[in-house]
RNA sequence: GCCCCUGUGGCGGAAUUGGUAGACGCGCUCGACUCAAAAUCGAGUUCCGCAAGGAGUGCCCGUUCGAGUCGGGCCAGGGGCACCA
C-alpha cells in the first residue's frame, strides 16, 4: 500500500468513474424528492480561479449531501457568455468575440472537471449559443405581445470618439475609459421592460423568502423604494402686479394654455403643507421646457443645469441653484396665499412628478435653497406646542413632533396630520394619497455586438414589427470587425437590411442587443427543461423549480436577483410557468481575497512570481524588491489571482476544496494563503492515513 | 446624509435559551524519530507574572447572583442607497 495519498491518481480515477456512470446526471422522471442546487453561472473570462472554486465547492457539497440523503439532485453548470469583455478582447487582440468566448469555455470546463464537482454536464448551456438566445428572443416577443415591453427615449453616456455607449462604470471623471474623450449625454430610443408593473409583487414577495439573507431582502426593499404620500396640484395664477412685470407677458400666455393650468407635486409629508414657501420644478419638467421656448434666460439656466456629471460625488457637492420663473401658484388651502415657482437643479424629473413644494423648515435641501434665495423658513412641526414660535436655525428639522402654525392641523401628530390632509385633498378634489416607487423600468437596449439581438424590425410604414417566430433565432452575423469604432451590427453591409414582415417593404433590423442580465434571468429555467423547439416545457420546468438553494456573490443581491424574480413573475402572469419565486433559498458567499504585491515602479506582481529573499520579498525573475500591498478581492488587474489548476495539480481537488470550505465561514471573506492550503493538504493526508489505517 | 452588518488569542474562528471564554483548525515553541531535513508522532500555546496570583471578548455606563451574549451611549471597520421630495 502506498504510504501517502496520491490525489492526482485518485482524482483522475474517481472523476472517470463518475463520468462513465453518469453519476451526477439528474433524471426528470425520478420519483425521489427533488433538490435543485445552483451556483450563479460564471462569465467565461479566461480561467477558473480559487474564488470560482469556493463558490462551486459550496454547491457541490450540498448537492452530494442531498444526493446521499436520497434526493434526485439537479446541479447543472453553464456559461453567462455574452458581455463586454469579449468585445474588449476582440479589439485588443483582433479575435472574434465568439472565438475568444468559446475557447475560454473549453479551458474553464476542463478546470471545473479537474476539481471533480458533482455537476450534470449533460445540461450545460452557453447564453451566446443561438440554441439558447433564440429561445430568449421568443420569450422577449411573448413579453412584447403581453405589452410588458415598450420603447422610449432615454439618456445614455455617449463616447464621441469610440462612437459607442458606455456603462456608468466605464465613465471615469466624465471621460470614456478607453478613449479618454469627454462623455456626452445623448438621447436614444431604447427598449424597456415593465418591471415597475411588478413593483408591488416583487416587494410583497420578499416576505415569503425566509431562506434569503435579511440583508439581501432589505437591499431589494430599498431598491424598490416604496414611498407613501400625496400627489396634489397647485393652480397657477398671474404673477403679482408688483415685482415680476418682466415675465408677465409669457406667463400670461401660459395661463391660457390648457396643459399648464396647474403644477402637480408629490410629497411624503403632506402634514407640512402649511410650511411651504415655494414650488420648484425640474429643469426637464414640461413647464420649464415650455418657458424655455420664449425666454432665453430660462433656456440658458436649463443648459447650465445639464452641465456636469451625474455621479454621486458630483451631485453631492453641486450647489443648489434655482431660477425664479416669476410665476406664482395658489396654496390649495388658502386662496390668498401665493407661492413663487422656481426651476431648480436638485429636482429630479424621473421621481414623483418632477415637481416639489418646498418646506425649508423641515427638509434640508429646501432649507439650503430657501436660505440662498431668501425665502421664508416656517416652522410647522415642533417638539411641543410651546415651541411653535422658535425659529428653525442652522438646518432643517425632520424629526417627529406636533404640528404647529398649521390652522386645522395644529396639535395633531405627524401621521394623523398626513391622513387629515390627504382626506381633505381627496374630498375637495385637488389631490390624492398615492404611492411612488424608486424602482424604474428596466432598460434592456445595449448598443453592442456581443449580446442577444433584439428580435424587432423597424419599418417606416409599419413601425416596430416583431420578427416572425419561424424566423428565430435572429443570429449574430459572424463576419464582423472591431478595428473601427462603433457597433459592428450597425455598419454590417447586409445584416440589418431586411424586408418588413408586415408589408414586405424595405426595413431595418434592430441593431441593439439585450442587456446580459436578460440572459441570466431565465437560465435556471432552461437548465430544468431544454426542449429544442421552445424555451422550456412547463411541466418539466415546474418539476424542478424553484431552485432550492442558490449560491453566489452578494454583488448580485439587487440587479440579477431582482431581474430573475421579475422575469419569473412575468412568465407566471403569461401563464407560461406556474412559479412565483425562482430561488427559494439564497446564500451569498464571501469573496476570496489575497495579498497584493507591487514592484518599486508600481507594477502589480503576481504571487507566483515572488519569493522570499534576503531582505524581504523579491521578484523571482529580476531579484528586485517587492512591496506587500493590501489584501484585496482577487482580480486580474491586481494580479493577485490564484489559478485553480495550479492548486489542483499541486495539492489535489480535495485539499483545495477542504481549505476553501474550512478556513472561514462560507458567508465571510476568505484570505487565500500558502500556509492555509499546506495545512489543508496535511489534513487530507492525515484523514487518509486514519481511513486506510496502519495494520500494526 | 439615510439604512444595514461586523468587532473574541499571532491567524480563521467556537461558545443551544445569560452559566467554566478561547472548541476545532492554522501557525508557532519544545520533544521523539532521523546522519540531517521533510513528513509523521507527542506535549505546550489568551495576556502579564519565576510563582502565588491577576487581567481579559473594540471603549464607557447599566440590568443581573452571574454578561462575549441583554439595554443605553460612543469608537473603529465593512457594505448598500442617495439632491428620491
3-state secondary structure A36-78: EEEECCCCCCCCCEHHHHHHHHHHHHHHHHHHHCCCEEECECC
Q: Tens digit of pLDDT for each residue in A516-528?
A: 999 999 999 999 9
Distance A288 CA to B14 C1' (A): 64
Return the residue matching grid coordinates 456581443: A450
d(CA A489, CA A450): 10
Q: Which of residues 344-383 of A touch strand B (CB under 7 A)?
A: 345-349, 351-356, 359, 363, 365
Per DSSP, the three-state class of A549 is strand
The C1' atom of B26 and the CA atom of A165 lie apart, in whole Å, by 49
Q: Which residues lie across from A34 on neighbouring strands?
A: A72
Q: What is the pLDDT of residue A471?
A: 95
**Spatial separation of the C-alpha atoms in residues A442 and A559, rounded to whole Å:** 10
Question: Which pLDDT belongs to residue A318?
Answer: 65
CB of A414 lies under 7 Å from some atom of strand B: no
CB atoms within 10 A of CB A169: 7
Among residues A166, A141, A146, the alpha carbon closest in space to that of A510 is found at A141
User: If pLDDT is split at 50, 70 and 90, which confidence band does A238 have?
Assistant: low
Contact A475, A130 (CB under 8 A): yes
A44 sits within 7 Å of strand B by its CB: no
Residue ranges with strand state E in A75-199:
149-159, 164-166, 171-172, 175-176, 184-193
| Sign of the dihedral through C-alpha A206, A211, A214, A216 | negative
Nine-digit cell string for A213: 439573507
Q: Cα-flanking dihedrals φ and ψ of residue A471, to 5°?
A: -90, 0
E strands present in A444-501:
445-446, 456-459, 463-466, 497-499
Residue for grid cell 485539499: A655
Nearest-angstrom CA–CA distance, A540 and A29: 9
CA A397 to C1' B61, in angstroms, rounded, equals 29
**Residue A341 backbone dihedrals phi, psi, to 5 degrees:** -110, 125
**What is the model's pLDDT at position A249?**
44
Q: How far is CA A208 from CA A205, A222, A553, in A?
A: 6, 17, 21
- pLDDT value for A524: 97
pLDDT value at position A336?
Answer: 92
pLDDT surpassing 80 at residue A140: yes
Distance between CA A640 and CA A637 in Å, rounded? 8
Q: Which of residues 546-585 of A touch strand B (CB under 7 A)?
A: 554-555, 557-558
The region of weakest confidence among A196-200, A218-222, A503-507, A567-571 is: A218-222
Strand A592-599 to A670-671 pairing: parallel
A320 beta carbon < 7 A from strand B? Answer: yes
pLDDT at A84: 86
* Assigned C-alpha cell, A308: 456636469
Q: CA A653, C1' B11: Å apart?
A: 24
Express each pLDDT in A358-408 by its tens digit.
999 888 888 888 988 999 999 998 888 888 888 888 778 877 788 999 999
- Cβ within 7 Å of strand B: which of A 228-247? 229
Give dist(CA A277, CA A339) in Å, integer.
Answer: 6
Kind plus residue range of the DSSP H or E element containing A460: none
Give the CA A36 to C1' B69 distance in Å. 36
Q: Tell me which of A249-263, A483-497, A577-591 is least confident.
A: A249-263
Chain A, 504-523: which CBs lie within 7 Å of strand B?
A: none
**Amino acid A694: pLDDT:** 53
Q: How far apart are CA A356 and CA A373, in angstroms?
A: 16
- Rounded-to-integer distance, Cα A8 and Cα A325, Å: 78
**pLDDT above 70 for A476:** yes
Among candidate residues A129, A195, A222, the one with its CA nearest the CA of residue A567 = A195
Q: Would the pLDDT of A554 be above 90?
A: no
Residues β-bridged to residue A216: none
CA of A649 to C1' of B73 (A): 54
Residue A227, CB, strand B, below 7 Å: yes
The answer to whether some atom of strand B lies closer than 7 Å to the beta carbon of A629 is no
Subset of residues 431-490 in chain A with CB less than 7 angstroms from any atom in strand B? 436, 438
Instruction: Report whether A507 contacts A496 (CB < 8 A).
Output: no
Phi-psi region of A434 (alpha: psi -120 to 50; beta: other; left: phi over 0): beta
Percent over 70 (pLDDT), chain A = 92
Straight-line distance from CA A312 to C1' B7, in Å? 29
Please write the tens of the pLDDT for every residue from A286-317. 999 999 988 999 999 888 877 654 444 444 45
Residue A254 reports pLDDT greater than 60: no
Round and report the angstrom distance from CA (A311) to C1' (B21). 48
Is residue A255's pLDDT more than 60? Answer: no
Ramachandran quadrant class, A173 (left: phi over 0; alpha: psi -120 to 50; beta: rest): left
Burial of A531 by CB count in 10 Å (0-12 exposed, 13-18 middle, 19+ buried)?
Answer: exposed
At A56 the pLDDT is 93
Distance separating alpha carbons of residues A180 and A170, to the nearest angstrom: 10
Nucleotides of chain B touched by protein CB (<7 A) = 3-5, 12-14, 25-27, 39-41, 79-85
In angstroms, rounded to a whole number, what is the distance separating the alpha carbons of residues A549 and A557?
A: 15
Average pLDDT, chain A: 87
Give the Cα separation of A679 and A51 in Å (integer): 19
- A628 sits in which H/E element: strand A626-633
Is the CA virtual torsion A204, A522, A128, A73 positive or negative? Answer: positive
CA distance A686 to A556: 38
pLDDT band at A257 (very low <50, low <70, confident <90, very high): low
Confidence of residue A258 (pLDDT cuts 50, 70, 90): low
Which of A563, A548, A511 is CA-nearest to residue A80?
A: A563
The alpha carbons of chain A give a radius of gyration, in whole angstroms, of 31
Who among residues 266-295 of A has its Cβ near strand B, under 7 Å?
A: 266-269, 282
For residues A39 and A77, give the distance between their C-alpha atoms in angstroms, rounded to a whole number. Answer: 8
The Å distance, CA of A11 to C1' of B43, is 36
User: CA A220 – C1' B4 distance (Å)?
Assistant: 12
Residue A250 has pLDDT above 60, yes or no: no
* A678 contact to strand B (CB, 7 A limit): yes
Phi, psi (degrees; rounded to nearest 5) at A629: -105, -165
Q: Is the peptide bond before A546 cis (omega within 30 degrees of 0)?
A: yes
The burial of A407, by beta-carbon neighbours within 10 Å (0-12 exposed, 13-18 middle, 19 or more buried), is given as exposed
**Which of the residue ranges A184-188, A337-341, A641-645 would you say has the lowest mean pLDDT?**
A184-188
Burial tier of A299 (Cβ tally within 10 Å: 0-12, 13-18, 19+): middle
- Interatomic CA distance for residues A696 and A693, integer angstroms: 9
Grouping H, G, I as helix, E, B as strand and the rest as coil, residue A687 is helix
DSSP A494: S
Q: How confident is the model at residue A244 (pLDDT cuts 50, 70, 90)?
A: very low
- Structural contact between residues A270 and A227, judged by C-beta atoms closer than 8 angstroms: no
Torsions phi, psi for A556 (to 5 deg): -100, 15
A593 DSSP 8-state letter: E
* DSSP designation for A120: B
Judge whether residue A218 contacts strand B, using its CB and a 7 Å cut-off.
Answer: yes
> Which is more confidently placed, A270 or A318?
A270
Query: Is the per-residue pLDDT at A181 higher than 90?
Result: no
Residue A173 pLDDT: 65
Which residues make Cβ contacts (< 8 Å) with residue A177, sequence separation at least 6? Answer: A166, A170, A171
Q: Which nucleotide is nearest to A230 (CA to C1')?
A: B85
Nearest nt by C1' to A347 Cα: B83
Amino acid at each position: 500500500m502506498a504510504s501517502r495519498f496520491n490525489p492526482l491518481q485518485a482524482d483522475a480515477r474517481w472523476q472517470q468513474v463518475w463520468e462513465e456512470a453518469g453519476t451526477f446526471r439528474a433524471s426528470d422522471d425520478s420519483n425521489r424528492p427533488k433538490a435543485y442546487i445552483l451556483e450563479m453561472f460564471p462569465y467565461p473570462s479566461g480561467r477558473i480561479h480559487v474564488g470560482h472554486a469556493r463558490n462551486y465547492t459550496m454547491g457541490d457539497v450540498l448537492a452530494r449531501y442531498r444526493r446521499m440523503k436520497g434526493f434526485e439532485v439537479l446541479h447543472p453548470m453553464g456559461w453567462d457568455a455574452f458581455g463586454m469583455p469579449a468585445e474588449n478582447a476582440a479589439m485588443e487582440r483582433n479575435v472574434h468575440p465568439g472565438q475568444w468566448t468559446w475557447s475560454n469555455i473549453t479551458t474553464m470546463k476542463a478546470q471545473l472537471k479537474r476539481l471533480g464537482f458533482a455537476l450534470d454536464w449533460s445540461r450545460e448551456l452557453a447564453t451566446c449559443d443561438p440554441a439558447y438566445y433564440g429561445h430568449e428572443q421568443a420569450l422577449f416577443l411573448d413579453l412584447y405581445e403581453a405589452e410588458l415591453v415598450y420603447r422610449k427615449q432615454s439618456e445614455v453616456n455617449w463616447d464621441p470618439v469610440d462612437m459607442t455607449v458606455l456603462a456608468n462604470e466605464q465613465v471615469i471623471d466624465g471621460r470614456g475609459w478607453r478613449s479618454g474623450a469627454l462623455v456626452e449625454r445623448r438621447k436614444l430610443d431604447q427598449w424597456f421592460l415593465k418591471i415597475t408593473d411588478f413593483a408591488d409583487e416583487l416587494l410583497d414577495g420578499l416576505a415569503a423568502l425566509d431562506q434569503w439573507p435579511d440583508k439581501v431582502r432589505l437591499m431589494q426593499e430599498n431598491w424598490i423604494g416604496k414611498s407613501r404620500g400625496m400627489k396634489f396640484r397647485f393652480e397657477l395664477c398671474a404673477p403679482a402686479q408688483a415685482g415680476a412685470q418682466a415675465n408677465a407677458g409669457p406667463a400670461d400666455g401660459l395661463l391660457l394654455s390648457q396643459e399648464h393650468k396647474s403644477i402637480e407635486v408629490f410629497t411624503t409629508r403632506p402634514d407640512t403643507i402649511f410650511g411651504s414657501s415655494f414650488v420648484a420644478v425640474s429643469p426637464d419638467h414640461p413647464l420649464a421646457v415650455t418657458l424655455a421656448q420664449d425666454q432665453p434666460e430660462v433656456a440658458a439656466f436649463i443648459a447650465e443645469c445639464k452641465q456636469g456629471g451625474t455621479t454621486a460625488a458630483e451631485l453631492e457637492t453641486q450647489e443648489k441653484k434655482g431660477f425664479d420663473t416669476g410665476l406664482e401658484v395658489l396654496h390649495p388651502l388658502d386662496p390668498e396665499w401665493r407661492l413663487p415657482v422656481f426651476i431648480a437643479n436638485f429636482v429630479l424629473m424621473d421621481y414623483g412628478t418632477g415637481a416639489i413644494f418646498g418646506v425649508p423648515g423641515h427638509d434640508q435641501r429646501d432649507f439650503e435653497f430657501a436660505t440662498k434665495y431668501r425665502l421664508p423658513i416656517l416652522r410647522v412641526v415642533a417638539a411641543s406646542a410651546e415651541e411653535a414660535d422658535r425659529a428653525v436655525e442652522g438646518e432643517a428639522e425632520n424629526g417627529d413632533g406636533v404640528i404647529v402654525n398649521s390652522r386645522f392641523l395644529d396639535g395633531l401628530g405627524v401621521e394623523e396630520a398626513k391622513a387629515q390632509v390627504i382626506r381633505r385633498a381627496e374630498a375637495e378634489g385637488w389631490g390624492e394619497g398615492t404611492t411612488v416607487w424608486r424602482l424604474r423600468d428596466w432598460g434592456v437596449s445595449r448598443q453592442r455586438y456581443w449580446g442577444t439581438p433584439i428580435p424587432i424590425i423597424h419599418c417606416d410604414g409599419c413601425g416596430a414589427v416583431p420578427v416572425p417566430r419561424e424566423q428565430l433565432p435572429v443570429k449574430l452575423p459572424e463576419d464582423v470587425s472591431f478595428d473601427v469604432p462603433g457597433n459592428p451590427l450597425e455598419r454590417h453591409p447586409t445584416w440589418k437590411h431586411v424586408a418588413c414582415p408586415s408589408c414586405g417593404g424595405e426595413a431595418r433590423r434592430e441593431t441593439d442587443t439585450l442587456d446580459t442580465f436578460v440572459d441570466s434571468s431565465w437560465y435556471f429555467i432552461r437548465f430544468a427543461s431544454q426542449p429544442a423547439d421552445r424555451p422550456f416545457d412547463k411541466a418539466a420546468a415546474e418539476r424542478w423549480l424553484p431552485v432550492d438553494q442558490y449560491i453566489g456573490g452578494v454583488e448580485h443581491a439587487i440587479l440579477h436577483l431582482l431581474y430573475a424574480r421579475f422575469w419569473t413573475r412575468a412568465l407566471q402572469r403569461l401563464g407560461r410557468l406556474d412559479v412565483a419565486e425562482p430561488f427559494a433559498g439564497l446564500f451569498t458567499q464571501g469573496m476570496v481575497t489575497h495579498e497584493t504585491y507591487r514592484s518599486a515602479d508600481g507594477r502589480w506582481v503576481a504571487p507566483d512570481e515572488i519569493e522570499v529573499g534576503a531582505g524581504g520579498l523579491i521578484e523571482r525573475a529580476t531579484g528586485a524588491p517587492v512591496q506587500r500591498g493590501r489584501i484585496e478581492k482577487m482580480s486580474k488587474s491586481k494580479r493577485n489571482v490564484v489559478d485553480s489548476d495550479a492548486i489542483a495539480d499541486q495539492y489535489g481537488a480535495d485539499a483545495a476544496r477542504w481549505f476553501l470550505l474550512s478556513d472561514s465561514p462560507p458567508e465571510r471573506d476568505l484570505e487565500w494563503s500558502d500556509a492555509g492550503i499546506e495545512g489543508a493538504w496535511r489534513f487530507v493526508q492525515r484523514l487518509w492515513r486514519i481511513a486506510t489505517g496502519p495494520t500494526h
